[in-house]
Amino acid sequence: MGSIAPGDGLSPSLTQHIASILPNDNTRTALGTSVIPSLLRSISDIAKALRAAQDVTHAGTANTFGDEQLNVDVIAENHVREALALCPSVKVASSEEDPVERPVTHSSSVLGGSQGTEQYTVAFDPLDGSSIIAPNWTVGTIIGIWDGGVSALSQPPAEKQIAAILGVFGPRTTAVVSVRVPGSPATCFEVGFSEGELGGWDVVRPVVRFGDAAAQKTRYFAPANLRAAAEDERYMGLVNHYIRNKYTLRYSGGLVPDVVHALVKGHGVYLSPVTGVSKAKLRRLYELYPLALIIECAGGKAVDPADGSEILAREVRNCDERGGLICGTKEEVNTAISALLGKP
Protein backbone atom coordinates (compact mmCIF):
# COMPACT_ATOMS: atom_id res chain seq x y z
CA MET A 1 0.00 0.00 0.00
CA GLY A 2 1.10 3.56 -0.53
CA SER A 3 3.12 5.09 2.26
CA ILE A 4 2.25 8.51 3.61
CA ALA A 5 5.10 11.00 3.78
CA PRO A 6 5.97 12.66 7.12
CA GLY A 7 3.98 15.84 7.61
CA ASP A 8 1.43 14.82 5.00
CA GLY A 9 -0.21 11.94 6.80
CA LEU A 10 -3.25 11.32 8.90
CA SER A 11 -3.29 12.14 12.58
CA PRO A 12 -3.98 9.20 14.91
CA SER A 13 -7.47 10.57 15.53
CA LEU A 14 -8.23 10.70 11.80
CA THR A 15 -6.82 7.21 11.26
CA GLN A 16 -9.06 5.94 14.03
CA HIS A 17 -12.05 7.81 12.64
CA ILE A 18 -11.64 6.30 9.18
CA ALA A 19 -11.26 2.84 10.70
CA SER A 20 -14.43 3.35 12.75
CA ILE A 21 -16.61 4.12 9.72
CA LEU A 22 -15.51 1.13 7.62
CA PRO A 23 -16.63 -2.49 8.06
CA ASN A 24 -14.54 -4.37 10.60
CA ASP A 25 -14.25 -7.45 8.38
CA ASN A 26 -11.10 -6.20 6.57
CA THR A 27 -12.93 -5.93 3.26
CA ARG A 28 -12.06 -2.23 2.92
CA THR A 29 -8.56 -2.12 4.38
CA ALA A 30 -6.97 -0.56 1.29
CA LEU A 31 -9.69 2.07 1.05
CA GLY A 32 -8.98 3.26 4.59
CA THR A 33 -5.21 2.89 4.77
CA SER A 34 -4.10 3.55 1.20
CA VAL A 35 -6.67 5.12 -1.14
CA ILE A 36 -8.21 7.85 1.02
CA PRO A 37 -4.89 8.79 2.71
CA SER A 38 -3.06 9.00 -0.62
CA LEU A 39 -5.77 11.15 -2.19
CA LEU A 40 -5.79 13.46 0.82
CA ARG A 41 -2.04 13.78 0.42
CA SER A 42 -2.55 14.79 -3.20
CA ILE A 43 -4.92 17.54 -2.05
CA SER A 44 -2.33 18.93 0.36
CA ASP A 45 0.29 18.73 -2.41
CA ILE A 46 -2.01 20.68 -4.73
CA ALA A 47 -2.56 23.30 -2.01
CA LYS A 48 1.19 23.81 -1.65
CA ALA A 49 1.64 24.02 -5.40
CA LEU A 50 -1.12 26.62 -5.76
CA ARG A 51 0.50 28.83 -3.13
CA ALA A 52 3.77 28.62 -5.03
CA ALA A 53 2.15 29.33 -8.42
CA GLN A 54 2.18 33.11 -8.46
CA ASP A 55 1.22 33.22 -12.13
CA VAL A 56 -1.85 31.47 -13.48
CA THR A 57 -1.19 31.04 -17.20
CA HIS A 58 -2.40 29.01 -20.13
CA ALA A 59 -0.41 25.81 -20.47
CA GLY A 60 -0.63 25.86 -24.25
CA THR A 61 -2.58 22.62 -24.29
CA ALA A 62 -6.22 21.57 -24.29
CA ASN A 63 -7.94 18.55 -22.81
CA THR A 64 -9.91 16.07 -24.91
CA PHE A 65 -13.08 18.15 -24.44
CA GLY A 66 -11.33 21.13 -26.08
CA ASP A 67 -11.06 23.14 -22.86
CA GLU A 68 -7.85 25.16 -22.76
CA GLN A 69 -5.70 24.06 -19.84
CA LEU A 70 -4.07 26.29 -17.26
CA ASN A 71 -0.67 25.55 -15.77
CA VAL A 72 -2.38 24.87 -12.43
CA ASP A 73 -4.76 22.35 -14.05
CA VAL A 74 -1.76 20.33 -15.19
CA ILE A 75 -0.05 20.60 -11.80
CA ALA A 76 -3.14 19.39 -9.97
CA GLU A 77 -3.65 16.53 -12.44
CA ASN A 78 -0.08 15.35 -11.90
CA HIS A 79 -0.39 15.34 -8.12
CA VAL A 80 -3.51 13.19 -8.14
CA ARG A 81 -1.94 10.80 -10.66
CA GLU A 82 1.14 10.49 -8.46
CA ALA A 83 -1.08 9.61 -5.51
CA LEU A 84 -2.92 6.95 -7.50
CA ALA A 85 0.42 5.40 -8.50
CA LEU A 86 0.91 4.61 -4.80
CA CYS A 87 -2.43 2.76 -4.53
CA PRO A 88 -2.18 -0.77 -5.94
CA SER A 89 -5.89 -1.31 -5.35
CA VAL A 90 -6.79 1.52 -7.78
CA LYS A 91 -6.74 -0.18 -11.16
CA VAL A 92 -8.37 2.36 -13.46
CA ALA A 93 -8.60 6.15 -13.45
CA SER A 94 -9.79 9.04 -15.60
CA SER A 95 -10.07 12.77 -15.09
CA GLU A 96 -11.65 15.83 -16.60
CA GLU A 97 -8.22 16.77 -17.96
CA ASP A 98 -7.62 13.28 -19.37
CA PRO A 99 -11.12 11.84 -19.82
CA VAL A 100 -10.20 8.34 -20.94
CA GLU A 101 -10.34 5.42 -18.53
CA ARG A 102 -6.88 3.88 -18.45
CA PRO A 103 -5.10 1.36 -16.24
CA VAL A 104 -3.11 3.04 -13.47
CA THR A 105 0.65 2.69 -13.73
CA HIS A 106 1.83 1.98 -10.22
CA SER A 107 5.05 3.05 -8.58
CA SER A 108 7.75 0.39 -8.35
CA SER A 109 7.73 0.92 -4.57
CA VAL A 110 4.27 -0.68 -4.29
CA LEU A 111 4.54 -3.37 -6.93
CA GLY A 112 4.83 -6.92 -5.70
CA GLY A 113 3.22 -6.15 -2.36
CA SER A 114 0.06 -7.70 -0.98
CA GLN A 115 -2.89 -6.08 -2.76
CA GLY A 116 -5.75 -8.11 -1.36
CA THR A 117 -9.04 -8.43 -3.21
CA GLU A 118 -10.03 -4.76 -3.22
CA GLN A 119 -10.14 -3.04 -6.59
CA TYR A 120 -11.24 0.51 -7.31
CA THR A 121 -11.78 2.96 -10.16
CA VAL A 122 -11.23 6.69 -9.61
CA ALA A 123 -12.79 9.56 -11.59
CA PHE A 124 -11.72 13.09 -10.68
CA ASP A 125 -11.69 16.77 -11.55
CA PRO A 126 -8.19 17.85 -10.44
CA LEU A 127 -8.94 21.56 -10.23
CA ASP A 128 -12.53 22.76 -10.35
CA GLY A 129 -12.88 26.54 -10.66
CA SER A 130 -10.43 27.59 -13.35
CA SER A 131 -12.53 30.66 -14.15
CA ILE A 132 -12.06 32.10 -10.65
CA ILE A 133 -8.55 30.98 -9.73
CA ALA A 134 -6.77 33.96 -11.33
CA PRO A 135 -8.40 36.45 -8.89
CA ASN A 136 -7.36 34.07 -6.06
CA TRP A 137 -10.82 32.86 -5.11
CA THR A 138 -11.43 29.53 -3.44
CA VAL A 139 -11.31 26.52 -5.77
CA GLY A 140 -11.36 22.77 -5.24
CA THR A 141 -10.67 19.19 -6.28
CA ILE A 142 -13.47 16.66 -6.82
CA ILE A 143 -12.82 12.92 -6.54
CA GLY A 144 -15.13 9.92 -6.87
CA ILE A 145 -14.07 6.41 -5.85
CA TRP A 146 -15.89 3.49 -7.47
CA ASP A 147 -16.08 -0.14 -6.44
CA GLY A 148 -14.41 -2.47 -8.93
CA GLY A 149 -11.30 -1.98 -11.01
CA VAL A 150 -12.78 -2.10 -14.50
CA SER A 151 -14.78 1.07 -15.22
CA ALA A 152 -17.11 3.68 -13.79
CA LEU A 153 -19.06 3.79 -17.05
CA SER A 154 -22.36 1.92 -17.38
CA GLN A 155 -22.33 1.31 -13.64
CA PRO A 156 -25.16 2.24 -11.22
CA PRO A 157 -23.63 5.22 -9.38
CA ALA A 158 -25.87 4.89 -6.33
CA GLU A 159 -24.36 1.46 -5.71
CA LYS A 160 -20.90 1.51 -7.24
CA GLN A 161 -19.59 4.94 -6.24
CA ILE A 162 -18.66 4.19 -2.64
CA ALA A 163 -16.64 7.26 -1.60
CA ALA A 164 -16.01 10.86 -2.61
CA ILE A 165 -13.71 13.69 -1.59
CA LEU A 166 -14.04 17.46 -2.07
CA GLY A 167 -10.76 19.28 -1.51
CA VAL A 168 -11.13 23.00 -0.74
CA PHE A 169 -8.27 25.46 -1.39
CA GLY A 170 -9.02 28.71 0.39
CA PRO A 171 -7.49 30.54 3.37
CA ARG A 172 -7.34 27.02 4.85
CA THR A 173 -6.96 23.67 3.13
CA THR A 174 -9.83 21.38 4.03
CA ALA A 175 -11.65 18.39 2.57
CA VAL A 176 -15.08 16.85 2.93
CA VAL A 177 -15.08 13.06 2.71
CA SER A 178 -18.06 10.76 2.29
CA VAL A 179 -18.09 6.97 2.48
CA ARG A 180 -21.03 4.69 1.69
CA VAL A 181 -20.09 1.02 1.59
CA PRO A 182 -22.20 -2.06 2.31
CA GLY A 183 -21.99 -3.09 5.92
CA SER A 184 -21.52 0.40 7.35
CA PRO A 185 -23.74 3.49 7.72
CA ALA A 186 -23.25 6.24 5.16
CA THR A 187 -21.11 8.98 6.63
CA CYS A 188 -19.75 12.41 5.79
CA PHE A 189 -16.98 14.22 7.69
CA GLU A 190 -14.60 17.17 7.32
CA VAL A 191 -10.83 17.20 7.70
CA GLY A 192 -8.29 20.00 7.73
CA PHE A 193 -4.63 20.20 6.78
CA SER A 194 -1.95 21.98 8.81
CA GLU A 195 1.59 22.45 7.57
CA GLY A 196 4.86 22.17 9.44
CA GLU A 197 7.09 19.34 10.58
CA LEU A 198 4.30 17.81 12.62
CA GLY A 199 1.53 18.87 10.27
CA GLY A 200 -0.94 16.69 8.47
CA TRP A 201 -4.63 15.93 8.19
CA ASP A 202 -6.88 15.93 11.23
CA VAL A 203 -10.59 15.68 11.91
CA VAL A 204 -12.36 19.05 11.86
CA ARG A 205 -15.90 17.71 12.14
CA PRO A 206 -16.47 13.97 12.60
CA VAL A 207 -20.03 14.30 11.28
CA VAL A 208 -21.24 16.67 8.56
CA ARG A 209 -25.03 16.85 8.35
CA PHE A 210 -27.61 19.30 7.15
CA GLY A 211 -29.62 20.74 10.03
CA ASP A 212 -33.31 20.99 10.76
CA ALA A 213 -34.76 23.44 8.23
CA ALA A 214 -37.43 24.61 10.65
CA ALA A 215 -34.80 25.62 13.19
CA GLN A 216 -32.61 27.43 10.66
CA LYS A 217 -32.39 31.17 11.32
CA THR A 218 -30.43 32.03 8.18
CA ARG A 219 -31.29 30.43 4.86
CA TYR A 220 -28.83 30.39 1.99
CA PHE A 221 -29.06 30.14 -1.78
CA ALA A 222 -26.38 29.90 -4.48
CA PRO A 223 -27.83 30.58 -7.96
CA ALA A 224 -25.33 29.45 -10.59
CA ASN A 225 -26.00 30.22 -14.25
CA LEU A 226 -28.01 33.23 -13.14
CA ARG A 227 -28.15 34.53 -16.73
CA ALA A 228 -30.56 31.68 -17.40
CA ALA A 229 -33.14 33.58 -15.33
CA ALA A 230 -33.45 35.97 -18.28
CA GLU A 231 -34.46 33.01 -20.44
CA ASP A 232 -36.59 31.07 -17.98
CA GLU A 233 -39.46 32.73 -16.14
CA ARG A 234 -39.63 29.90 -13.62
CA TYR A 235 -36.00 30.34 -12.65
CA MET A 236 -36.52 34.08 -12.39
CA GLY A 237 -39.52 33.43 -10.16
CA LEU A 238 -37.51 31.10 -7.95
CA VAL A 239 -34.72 33.67 -7.54
CA ASN A 240 -37.32 36.31 -6.65
CA HIS A 241 -38.77 33.86 -4.10
CA TYR A 242 -35.40 33.72 -2.34
CA ILE A 243 -35.09 37.50 -2.36
CA ARG A 244 -38.62 38.12 -1.11
CA ASN A 245 -38.14 35.62 1.70
CA LYS A 246 -34.83 37.18 2.72
CA TYR A 247 -32.53 34.30 1.93
CA THR A 248 -28.81 35.13 2.15
CA LEU A 249 -26.94 35.00 -1.16
CA ARG A 250 -23.74 32.96 -0.99
CA TYR A 251 -22.38 32.39 -4.47
CA SER A 252 -18.71 32.60 -5.47
CA GLY A 253 -18.86 31.01 -8.91
CA GLY A 254 -16.96 27.97 -7.63
CA LEU A 255 -18.90 24.71 -7.47
CA VAL A 256 -16.88 23.19 -4.62
CA PRO A 257 -16.82 26.18 -2.24
CA ASP A 258 -20.48 26.98 -2.83
CA VAL A 259 -21.60 23.42 -2.08
CA VAL A 260 -19.24 23.12 0.89
CA HIS A 261 -20.60 26.40 2.28
CA ALA A 262 -24.03 24.81 2.58
CA LEU A 263 -22.51 21.74 4.25
CA VAL A 264 -20.65 23.89 6.77
CA LYS A 265 -23.66 26.06 7.57
CA GLY A 266 -26.04 23.10 7.70
CA HIS A 267 -28.42 24.72 5.22
CA GLY A 268 -28.52 25.92 1.66
CA VAL A 269 -29.46 25.18 -1.92
CA TYR A 270 -27.19 25.27 -4.95
CA LEU A 271 -28.85 25.67 -8.35
CA SER A 272 -27.41 25.19 -11.81
CA PRO A 273 -30.43 24.85 -14.12
CA VAL A 274 -30.37 24.15 -17.83
CA THR A 275 -32.40 26.03 -20.45
CA GLY A 276 -32.70 25.94 -24.22
CA VAL A 277 -29.99 28.59 -24.49
CA SER A 278 -27.88 27.79 -21.42
CA LYS A 279 -26.61 24.27 -21.96
CA ALA A 280 -25.51 21.82 -19.28
CA LYS A 281 -21.89 22.29 -18.23
CA LEU A 282 -21.29 19.97 -15.29
CA ARG A 283 -19.85 16.58 -16.17
CA ARG A 284 -21.65 13.76 -14.43
CA LEU A 285 -18.70 11.49 -13.87
CA TYR A 286 -16.22 14.08 -12.60
CA GLU A 287 -18.44 16.61 -10.83
CA LEU A 288 -22.07 15.63 -10.37
CA TYR A 289 -21.65 12.10 -9.05
CA PRO A 290 -19.07 12.82 -6.31
CA LEU A 291 -20.97 15.92 -5.19
CA ALA A 292 -24.25 14.02 -5.10
CA LEU A 293 -22.79 11.27 -2.93
CA ILE A 294 -21.47 13.77 -0.42
CA ILE A 295 -24.77 15.64 -0.33
CA GLU A 296 -26.74 12.42 0.22
CA CYS A 297 -24.36 11.18 2.92
CA ALA A 298 -24.91 14.52 4.69
CA GLY A 299 -28.67 13.97 4.66
CA GLY A 300 -29.41 16.18 1.67
CA LYS A 301 -30.66 15.70 -1.85
CA ALA A 302 -29.11 16.16 -5.31
CA VAL A 303 -31.32 16.11 -8.41
CA ASP A 304 -31.29 16.83 -12.11
CA PRO A 305 -33.23 20.06 -12.82
CA ALA A 306 -34.30 18.67 -16.19
CA ASP A 307 -36.76 16.20 -14.64
CA GLY A 308 -36.23 16.17 -10.88
CA SER A 309 -34.64 12.71 -10.88
CA GLU A 310 -31.86 11.91 -8.44
CA ILE A 311 -28.39 12.51 -9.85
CA LEU A 312 -27.19 9.08 -8.73
CA ALA A 313 -30.11 7.28 -10.38
CA ARG A 314 -28.64 7.55 -13.87
CA GLU A 315 -25.51 5.83 -15.12
CA VAL A 316 -23.30 7.31 -17.83
CA ARG A 317 -21.96 5.67 -20.95
CA ASN A 318 -19.27 8.19 -21.86
CA CYS A 319 -17.02 10.54 -19.91
CA ASP A 320 -18.47 13.75 -21.37
CA GLU A 321 -22.11 13.36 -20.36
CA ARG A 322 -23.29 16.55 -18.68
CA GLY A 323 -26.20 17.81 -16.67
CA GLY A 324 -27.53 20.49 -14.40
CA LEU A 325 -27.68 20.33 -10.60
CA ILE A 326 -29.90 21.28 -7.73
CA CYS A 327 -28.59 20.16 -4.36
CA GLY A 328 -28.85 21.01 -0.69
CA THR A 329 -31.35 20.30 2.03
CA LYS A 330 -34.24 18.10 0.98
CA GLU A 331 -36.83 20.79 1.72
CA GLU A 332 -35.07 23.43 -0.36
CA VAL A 333 -34.42 21.06 -3.25
CA ASN A 334 -38.08 20.04 -3.31
CA THR A 335 -39.13 23.69 -3.32
CA ALA A 336 -36.81 24.44 -6.22
CA ILE A 337 -37.99 21.47 -8.28
CA SER A 338 -41.60 22.41 -7.68
CA ALA A 339 -40.91 25.94 -8.92
CA LEU A 340 -38.84 24.95 -11.94
CA LEU A 341 -40.86 21.98 -13.14
CA GLY A 342 -44.29 22.91 -11.85
CA LYS A 343 -44.41 19.72 -9.78
CA PRO A 344 -46.29 19.68 -6.46
What is this structure's pTM?
0.93
Band (277; pLDDT cuts 50, 70, 90): confident
Specify the 3-state DSSP secondary structure of 27: coil
For 166, half-sphere exposure in the C-beta direction (CA atoms, 13 angstrom radius) is 31
What CATH number corresponds to the domain at position 166?
A: 3.30.540.10
Closest CA to 74 of 60, 94, 88, 85: 60
Of 174, 53, 69, the residue nearest 127 (C-alpha): 69
Residue 218: name the closest of 302, 293, 334, 329 by CA: 329
What's the rounded Cα separation, in Å, for the pair 90 and 220?
38
Residue 324 belongs to a domain: yes
The answer to whether position 274 is within a domain reads yes
Q: Which domain holds residue 27?
A: 12-205
Mind listing the pLDDT tens digit for each residue in 104-140?
999 877 766 555 789 999 999 999 998 898 899 999 9
Residues 184 and 236 in one domain: no
Please tell me whether residues 248 and 292 are part of one structural domain.
yes
> Is the pLDDT reported for residue 4 higher than 80?
no
The answer to whether residue 6 is domain-embedded is no
Mean pLDDT of 176-184: 96
- Identify residue 47 by its one-letter amino acid code: A
